[in-house]
Structure 1
């Protein structure tokens, strides 16, 4: 039977039941492409999305990096040509675009052939010098094994004969509840009502809007904002990890109003720096923002809505629920949580949605691990080949990474299976995974290449730490050595602050030291006082602070090293001293809102003893008998000697003026002080209380 004749009645059934039809068609490339062309010609979809090569003229080709641009868009047919590559991230992202009754068609070789061929679509996941056109990873084999447990129609086309390798049973139809325009579901209408109540109700009662992808939560933000604007509430802003993530909400706002500028996107750093007066702040994909940033926004704004995906291709996991919502419990007990469960483009039991969730490990388990401090822990290491026979271990590791880290995405799962330079250190108790760390084996670059990296002439993939040593720290010889970078560390959320992370780091250090193959362990992350203290307690030493805030964390990144042998101890100490001195000399070149607590842990200011005359001048300033301008130099020397013993607010004000070279106006706004006189008075009080 021809492919078209076989699928048409199934598509009619899928449309009647408001679901999508997932189909895997395997065989030779050209026969499959020809059959697909005939199918498209027969079905004539209004909107056709195509992933991979050989896209027809009437298709919209989807390319890597299109993930956020897909949010809110729709299609009637989605074809994935996997013969020359299978981009797991893009496959997971694009599935949400397909409407009910639509066809999801994956064209691929037969299983064994597909597993044995390279996957160039994952080239960005592979480190230098691996050739993606030759490398055979493990992801496709793993994914096919997961697919066998999913609801999917698996067909084979060989010698013009179509055969069914795996049948599919579509779920029964569930009639949706009728709802008035412009709403797509009753749940979405309820969400809009709840958003409006945030503005009209009591202050400091934020709303947390939770939903899987495709439930209409972003649209609800825009529709609610439009209603508020019609009511005269025009001070509205929306923020997210990127402008693209807020596009759906803004588009729905603009669909309701002629005024297309009322709901404005504001980056997180702008909100925190300028603190504009707002009637309502909307945050879309909130879990993609660091918890520290969410806390600051919650503290600064009394009427706020957090919308987030608890699991999805964005990789947010349930970490938002377990980390940030705990903070709301403590600080804003009147907060409300509303969950949208009903998809707006298809019914709840849609087989394609279940396939995406299950095959890409986006379903989070609900079981909680138990930890007994008096029981022994086991440290195990896993490398790429190990996952083939330890799929359950891989599932647990990826779930924990997704749960504990806001940046974990589908491509991280693919990297674990395809990148041989990645490994996982996992901490177990009674076969329960309590903590894990993702490690990247870097360095061992050729001397000529390290020279080119140092000179800024070349960059290679997958060696972030090694290249930073060569380029930023001017240590190209270190990039020729093996260095191990801890990319991420995750502890089961309800077991955090029990020392498990520290024990894991200690075990990693000991294990790598025993290998005698490297003398350096390193990491890089968006700096915060808590994280910095954690890594310093584990023996890691800060050697570089970036000059710009990271897009994901909204904080500058700090690079830290742990010497594993005596040969590297002196060098790392020298790098720390150089970084601390550079920070002091050029602090004004770093982000203006850098935490003073962080600065204190990194900076190394020069000092010289105060003379009796110096002390007398400062005492006169403290009682108002000397102007600030006359003793600014003496004050700098005094501050360099005493900054670690001062109270946080006055110390931050002095650092902002003398170290960061900020104007009195900027300082007043930053610390919410009336003006220059109030700033100087604060400094005078601090000197007076230190009994000079």
Structure 2
């Protein structure tokens, strides 16, 4: 037996008795890495092995970056994870959670990759702080000294001696199930928020509670999540609890009771009836959608990972829970602390949390409008050499987005096209904007993009302009895309975002940029923010994002005269096409978003839609009740589109009336849909609302025309 094999077997033997997990990291040239792994092929402790690598490994269960999510909810004793030219950190974070107590993760990293990756350099440097995570390097053949758990912290959490109900593993999990069941059997409007770090059995608790509800018969449960993959563990444990039940795709039946998964956008649009709504990984859902769910249903359970950034993180734990308490003061929270899958002080989990900044905490700040602000542009190297700054920056970025991933941290440190504009006051970090330089690529590459032969990573804006908007010269311009902008949650709504964007614009122009741009999930509030800062909408995605439930908006602001001319072309095309799409791809676009888009048109020339005298007469006749809706609807639409760019119209219009106008006249919804959405009694009341709107709208148009 080799010295390495003896070392590894002793290391594995030290983990199992205390229920902890460990990691061995090998760094060297590819041939050396293969040689080390081959020498460990006979280690007795290695069983139930899962291998993550670009190429399959003979004799081992293999996954890659495309299918690793299928392993969520499974368990492995040993994981082999290979890093060749790129560290797939999202996969690493996810798969490490499938390693059972006493298990070992073998991580191999090519030395060439370490030299070119600041992320890897930081990752390896952290190992020295974790005695149970061992680094073995080709350049340092001496084996590290084997470290064991401190006896004061290595005792396993004592198991509850009394038998637990529902098949629960811990007392906390049983309490969680009891609380979920109380949501169904107790008073209405008392939602439960169940949170935990990963590995605590929260999704299992949800499944066990669902099984108990289904056993009661004649119950229907609706469950939703940011993505069906998030429910792999849930359905696995539901099937184990009810083996007689029948699962078909993402639905489950047991006798006369049933459970079905619904995507977020479908759930919000259809509002199906159910005895309880379960929301798993709720932190991965944007706050506007959570608010809608909270108002639509009377019995709800929100379950989520709250430590780290597997979802919206502090947006969920802060803003949403605060709103929930205001809207549903009888609601309750419960946090599961005790791990089930591994030791309470598990070294691998602690290392993963710190290495990927899953535990980044947001400091409190105080802001004074009377004191000056300072701005600074940072690179990935600046973050690498200042761990405190890196933690502060990343924790603030996490609050601004509902889908932060470990790969975002890697991108910040490794991508040379990334710049960070930070805003401070008296050394306090108040805001940050993450910029990514895009465009200016070779014509040959852009031609391949146009022909759908390839996609260029990291060039979202020019690629979208070329492929979707038909802008042939898109890649010849330089863009600075605002990937994310974050203002500390305690000091928002004070104009700080506008000040930060102003400095981003100045920096981008100084660097020779033609455009500053962004892309985000569109809602009226966000679109208004960007429009107020002189950004124009260039494109709105045709499909809703699976996670956000919103269409993606792309906005641009020109920084050069040639860019300004191009933007006129882009916005003209968008606004000319927008009315057409309102009856198809944008038929269910929120009415306040439609109004926001149509009434603010920077860089857009005067509308070429006719507003004839005949149309004016039709509007007057309809408003007066002298003509029916069907004969006047085209004229109503033309008059609206010809003059809606005047913001005065928005100020003069009642919101309910204009919303019904948009739904009926512009988006062609039927009266049944409209009555249901706006709680009106029927067709007659709806037409009355349209006549009322037309009367107010006609007055507004007349006044504006007179001023001209």
Where does residue 5 of structure 2 map in the other structure? 4
Match of 2:585 among 581, 586, 590: 590
Q: CA deviation at 1:168?
A: 5.0
Q: CA deviation at 1:35?
A: 4.7
Q: Distance in 1 between matches of 2:37 and 2:686?
A: 72
Q: CA deviation at 1:372?
A: 2.4
Where does residue 546 of structure 2 map in the other structure? 551
1:643-669 deviation line (CA, Å, top 9, x unaligned) = 633222222222222211222333333
Counterparts of 1:59-98 in structure 2, within 5 Å, are 59-82=60-83, 85-98=86-99
Where does residue 234 of structure 1 map in the other structure? 219
| Aligned-partner SS, 1:163 | coil
| Aligned-partner SS, 2:149 | coil
1:360 matched to 2:363? The reply is no
Task: Answer yes or no: is the 8 Å Cα contact 1:273–1:670 preserved in 2.
Answer: no
Task: Answer yes or no: is the 8 Å Cα contact 2:309–2:398 preserved in 1.
Answer: no
Aligned residues: 667
Q: Distance in 2 between matches of 1:432 and 1:233?
A: 56
Q: Distance in 2 between matches of 1:200 and 1:91?
A: 41
Q: CA deviation at 1:33?
A: 4.0
Where does residue 195 of structure 1 map in the other structure? 180
Q: Distance in 2 between matches of 1:160 and 1:504?
A: 47
Match of 2:231 among 246, 255, 266: 246
Cα distance change, pair 263–38 in 1 and its aligned pair in 2 (3 A): farther
Task: Answer yes or no: is the 8 Å Cα contact 1:2–1:162 preserved in 2.
Answer: no
Match of 1:154 among 134, 138, 151: 134
Q: Distance in 2 between matches of 1:602 and 1:160?
A: 61
Task: Answer yes or no: is the 8 Å Cα contact 2:170–2:340 preserved in 1.
Answer: yes
Q: Distance in 2 between matches of 1:28 and 1:654?
A: 67
Task: Answer yes or no: is the 8 Å Cα contact 2:620–2:698 preserved in 1.
Answer: no
Where does residue 453 of structure 1 map in the other structure? 449
Task: Answer yes or no: is the 8 Å Cα contact 1:24–1:106 preserved in 2.
Answer: yes
Q: Distance in 2 between matches of 1:45 and 1:450?
A: 48
Two-structure CA RMSD over aligned residues (Å): 2.7
Counterparts of 1:379-528 in structure 2, within 5 Å, are 379-515=375-511, 517-528=512-523
Match of 1:144 among 124, 136, 150: 124
1:111-157 deviation line (CA, Å, top 9, x unaligned) = xxx2xx137xxxxxxxxxxxxxxx92321112112222234342547
1:489-523 deviation line (CA, Å, top 9, x unaligned) = 111111211222111101111222233x1221111
Task: Answer yes or no: is the 8 Å Cα contact 1:380–1:425 preserved in 2.
Answer: yes
Where does residue 124 of structure 1 map in the other structure? none
Where does residue 330 of structure 2 map in the other structure? 334
1:6-26 deviation line (CA, Å, top 9, x unaligned) = 333443332211111222345
Q: Distance in 2 between matches of 1:521 and 1:39?
A: 52
Q: CA deviation at 1:576?
A: 2.1
Where does residue 21 of structure 1 map in the other structure? 22
Cα distance change, pair 487–143 in 1 and its aligned pair in 2 (3 A): same
Where does residue 259 of structure 1 map in the other structure? 245
Q: CA deviation at 1:335?
A: 2.0
Q: Distance in 1 between matches of 2:618 and 2:84?
A: 77
Q: Distance in 1 between matches of 2:267 and 2:180?
A: 20
Q: Distance in 2 between matches of 1:183 and 1:65?
A: 33
Where does residue 126 of structure 1 map in the other structure? none
Where does residue 602 of structure 2 map in the other structure? none
Where does residue 207 of structure 1 map in the other structure? 192
1:289-321 deviation line (CA, Å, top 9, x unaligned) = 111111111111111111111234735432311
Where does residue 654 of structure 1 map in the other structure? 661
Where does residue 344 of structure 1 map in the other structure? 340
Q: Distance in 2 between matches of 1:85 and 1:464?
A: 21
| Aligned-partner SS, 1:534 | helix
| Aligned-partner SS, 1:363 | coil
Task: Answer yes or no: is the 8 Å Cα contact 1:153–1:168 preserved in 2.
Answer: no
1:664 matched to 2:671? The reply is yes
1:7-58 deviation line (CA, Å, top 9, x unaligned) = 3344333221111122234556556545544544232544111222676544
Q: Distance in 2 between matches of 1:276 and 1:17?
A: 47
Task: Answer yes or no: is the 8 Å Cα contact 2:361–2:391 preserved in 1.
Answer: no
Where does residue 622 of structure 2 map in the other structure? 618
| Aligned-partner SS, 2:214 | helix
Q: CA deviation at 1:85?
A: 4.7
Using the TM superposition, name which of 548-557 and 662-671 deviates more: 662-671
TM-score normalised by L of structure 1 = 0.90
Task: Answer yes or no: is the 8 Å Cα contact 2:12–2:45 preserved in 1.
Answer: no
Q: Distance in 2 between matches of 1:238 and 1:634?
A: 44
Q: Distance in 1 between matches of 2:448 and 2:106?
A: 45
Where does residue 685 of structure 2 map in the other structure? 678
1:510-550 deviation line (CA, Å, top 9, x unaligned) = 222233x1221111111111111111111211121121112
Cα distance change, pair 138–334 in 1 and its aligned pair in 2 (3 A): same
Using the TM superposition, name which of 491-500 and 672-681 deviates more: 672-681
TM-score normalised by L of structure 2 = 0.88
| Aligned-partner SS, 1:311 | coil
Using the TM superposition, name which of 611-620 and 220-229 deviates more: 611-620
Cα distance change, pair 315–167 in 1 and its aligned pair in 2 (3 A): farther
1:608 matched to 2:611? The reply is yes
Task: Answer yes or no: is the 8 Å Cα contact 1:188–1:216 preserved in 2.
Answer: yes
Task: Answer yes or no: is the 8 Å Cα contact 2:623–2:692 preserved in 1.
Answer: no
Match of 1:371 among 367, 374, 377: 367
Where does residue 125 of structure 1 map in the other structure? none
Q: Distance in 1 between matches of 2:445 and 2:54?
A: 33
Q: CA deviation at 1:216?
A: 0.7
Q: CA deviation at 1:441?
A: 0.4
Q: Distance in 1 between matches of 2:298 and 2:421?
A: 42
Structure 1 unmatched ranges of 5 or more: 120-134
| Aligned-partner SS, 1:43 | coil
| Aligned-partner SS, 1:89 | helix
Where does residue 571 of structure 1 map in the other structure? 566
| Aligned-partner SS, 1:503 | helix
Task: Answer yes or no: is the 8 Å Cα contact 1:318–1:364 preserved in 2.
Answer: no
Using the TM superposition, name which of 436-445 and 611-620 deviates more: 611-620
Cα distance change, pair 161–581 in 1 and its aligned pair in 2 (3 A): closer
Where does residue 284 of structure 1 map in the other structure? 280
| Aligned-partner SS, 2:175 | helix
1:536 matched to 2:518? The reply is no
Match of 1:118 among 85, 103, 113: 113
Q: Distance in 2 between matches of 1:140 and 1:100?
A: 26
Cα distance change, pair 467–687 in 1 and its aligned pair in 2 (3 A): closer
| Aligned-partner SS, 1:404 | coil
Cα distance change, pair 502–390 in 1 and its aligned pair in 2 (3 A): same
